Structure 1
Amino acid sequence: MFLRQLTYLLALDRFHHFSRAAEACGVSQPALSAGIRQLEAELGITIIQRNRRFFGLTAEGERVLAWARQTLAALDGLRQEAALAQDMAGGSLVIGVIPAASQVVPVLLERFRAVVPALHVEVKICSSRDIVHLLREHTLQLGLMYLDQVPADSPFETHTLYVEEHVLAAAKSMPLPAAKTIKWKDISTVPLCLFTTEMRSRQLVDAGFREAGVTPIILLETNALELLHAELLSGRLASILPVTALPERVGPEGLQIRHIGPSVSPEVGLVKLDHSNGSAVLERIWGVVHSLKLDDVYTF
């Protein structure tokens, strides 16, 4: 069995098309098809549902795919270990990040690169649920997410970075209640732009309104933080956002901020698979993670 055959299988699962998978692997379509058939012959099972086209994986193929992901992830860790034995300056890391915490990433990278200067990082914006799934599949090495979304009795190690606080934010031209801390019912007359309902941050906001027995005025919903910032800074709409998701740069007029009470304050932190064969880069980064606490940075 060749590792290249496992790479072909992962490419097929990604592209669901023989030609595009072959192109991504840098081989011809017949070579890729032959490699998959050879893998099936060696294992004595049918992996691919096909005629002239790719129709998906068989049940046995799905199990082989999961094993292939784990094997190639372990191989990548071995390669990084070998590279770091020569030079601890580099390595790579793939991080999944919830949208509400995307602005925390530069702070993390600054700390990570203090110990791995040439660290290459790929950042994927995902929901907490997707981060858990992708960590299990070894597609991600780290997740930045709500820790109450980590399944109980799961094979994950976690570290809390900060406790999230939601605030009401608006341009100074918008009329808001004068008190520094306001209640959910006080916000019910303010036109809002919010994250979409599948996002955990929005679910916490909805719970606050629901418990207060009021219905908010929501004029825009999006999963794009940049769009929320644009509406917020334009003065057209206010928003309820975690402190970590507030715009880092605002105009000369600035923003008005109101604390909201009572509200749920979930923990946000980093998550990785709890296993002993992690890459040298990941283990070195995780050592840095244990020294990180960002509550002072993200408290308004």
Structure 2
Amino acid sequence: MRPLPTLRQLRYLTALAEHLHFGRAAEACLATQSTLSAGLQELETILGVTLVERTKRKVMLTPLGEQVVTRARVVLRGAEDIADLAAASTEVLSGPLRLGVIPTIAPYLLPHALPSLRQRYPALRLFLREDLTARLLDRLATGDLDAALIALPWPSPEIETMHIADDGFMLACPPDHPLALRPDLSAADLIDQDLLLLEEGHCLRDHALSACHLPGPAKGEGVLGTSLATLVQMVANGLGVTLLPEMAVKSGVLAGTDVVTRPLRGAGSRGIGLAWRPSSPRKAEFRLLGEALKAGFQ
């Protein structure tokens, strides 16, 4: 039988592909740089090919190395699924769980939901990663994350989702703004307003526009914010109005400002959902996690 790569060697290779730096890759693998380098050389010897180009200035993978990395990620994800399956058979929601969360949910839901989650499942070790939806789902697909808390709808056949709650939208504006004085507002009243939005890539931007049936600005036009907190500060400084999720308003995103919110008649909402790989053996656990996260909406 010919020798085969070990999981450790494949993990070293995928880490190097991600960081393109021996030191950072070794740190990510909790190994020394010399150990990682030796492991990669052993992998190349076993396969009889060159996977990594090494120069004094940079590190890069060969074309074959890129192909091997793609397959290595599948192998590593399968090995992790085996470990997860074994862990799930002993005690539910225990041990490490890597959860991705988008930035328009994380600071507003987690402080309310995590205390009850820790109380209900004390053996759970939750590792959180905050990022935009597309990048979280990429990490979910490669096995770097176990599940992700995202806003729905999100068109992807490669994930299964559990709906947790609905999160409506409210108009945020300065207290002396004409819309703040109106007793009854609808989404149509926003068409001619200076509407402040998040940067492209934030799913909240598209969900808010869709919920209020509003067209988006032309590419390169409009004032864009990097976070909800930034949008609130721009509103407070009279740059325009914005749409905020109710979750953020209830969690105090307006604290320290005089910005006011008003309901919008006919405005829809975004869904909050938990996503995971269809192949994951921990589906039952993720549904329990979803039920526990609902406590943050009570």
176 and 291 in structure 1: CA distance in 2 versus 1, 3 angstrom threshold: same
Q: After TM superposition, give the deviation of residue 243 of structure 1 in Å.
A: 1.4
Which of residues 77, 96, 99 in structure 1 aligns to 2:100? 96
Q: Distance in 2 between matches of 1:291 and 1:86?
A: 20
Q: In the alignment, what sits opposite 2:164?
A: 161
Q: In the alignment, what sits opposite 1:286?
A: 287
- Give matches, 1:116-265, under 5 Å: 116-152=121-157, 154=158, 156-188=159-191, 190-206=193-209, 208-210=213-215, 220-232=223-235, 237-246=240-249, 248-249=251-252, 250=254, 256-265=260-269
SS of 2:153's partner is: helix
Q: After TM superposition, give the deviation of residue 201 of structure 1 in Å.
A: 1.9
Q: Distance in 2 between matches of 1:3 and 1:99?
A: 33
Q: In the alignment, what sits opposite 2:73?
A: 69
Which of residues 257, 267, 272 in structure 2 aligns to 1:268? 272
Pairwise CA RMSD: 3.8
108 and 283 in structure 1: CA distance in 2 versus 1, 3 angstrom threshold: farther
Q: After TM superposition, give the deviation of residue 97 of structure 1 in Å.
A: 1.8
Q: Which moved more, 1:116-125 or 1:256-265?
A: 256-265
Paired amino acid for 2:111: P
Give the alignment's TM-score, normalised by structure 2: 0.76
Contact kept in structure 1, 2:103 and 2:132, CA below 8 Å: yes
Cα deviation, 1:75-127, whole Å, max 9, x if unaligned, reads 55666677788877852222222222221223442443243214332322222
What 5-or-longer segments of structure 2 have no aligned partner? none
Q: After TM superposition, give the deviation of residue 271 of structure 1 in Å.
A: 0.5
Q: In the alignment, what sits opposite 2:23?
A: 19
Contact kept in structure 2, 1:162 and 1:295, CA below 8 Å: no
Contact kept in structure 2, 1:11 and 1:24, CA below 8 Å: yes
Paired amino acid for 2:150: M
Contact kept in structure 1, 2:232 and 2:259, CA below 8 Å: no
Contact kept in structure 1, 2:167 and 2:245, CA below 8 Å: yes
Paired amino acid for 2:160: E
Percent of aligned positions that are identical: 27
Which of residues 23, 33, 39 in structure 2 aligns to 1:35? 39
Cα deviation, 1:155-203, whole Å, max 9, x if unaligned, reads x221111233221023535442544542344235655542113322222
295 and 210 in structure 1: CA distance in 2 versus 1, 3 angstrom threshold: farther
Q: After TM superposition, give the deviation of residue 151 of structure 1 in Å.
A: 1.2
Q: Distance in 1 between matches of 2:162 and 2:31?
A: 42
Paired amino acid for 2:262: R
What 5-or-longer segments of structure 1 have no aligned partner? none
Contact kept in structure 2, 1:134 and 1:140, CA below 8 Å: yes
Q: After TM superposition, give the deviation of residue 68 of structure 1 in Å.
A: 3.3
Q: After TM superposition, give the deviation of residue 129 of structure 1 in Å.
A: 1.9
Q: After TM superposition, give the deviation of residue 292 of structure 1 in Å.
A: 6.3
Contact kept in structure 2, 1:129 and 1:149, CA below 8 Å: no
Contact kept in structure 2, 1:160 and 1:293, CA below 8 Å: no
Contact kept in structure 2, 1:171 and 1:253, CA below 8 Å: no
